Amino acid sequence: MLNEPRSRSAGTPVVVLTLVLAAWLEVFPLPEMLDQARPEWLALVLIYWIIALPHRVGVFWGFGVGLFQDVLMGVVLGQHALAYALVAYITLLAYKRLRVFSPVQQSGIVFLLTGTAVLVAYTVQNMTGTTVQGPLMMLLPALVSALLWRAVFVVLRQVRRQFWVR
Count of structural domains within the chain: 1
Whether 122 is covered by a domain: the verdict is yes
Whether 151 is covered by a domain: the verdict is yes
Which residue range is the domain that position 145 belongs to?
12-162
Question: Quick one: DSSP state of residue 133?
Answer: S
Q: Are 122 and 75 in contact (CB under 8 A)?
A: no
Question: Quick one: DSSP state of residue 28?
Answer: S
Whether 6 is covered by a domain: the verdict is no
Whether 1 is covered by a domain: the verdict is no
Q: Are 133 and 87 in contact (CB under 8 A)?
A: no
* Digitized pLDDT (tens) for each residue of the chain, 166 residues in all: 445 555 556 789 999 999 999 999 999 999 988 999 999 999 999 999 999 999 999 999 999 999 999 999 999 999 999 999 999 999 999 999 999 999 999 999 999 999 999 999 999 988 998 877 777 888 999 999 999 999 999 999 999 999 999 8
pLDDT score, position 50: 98
pLDDT score, position 134: 76
Longest distance between any two alpha carbons in the chain, whole Å? 58
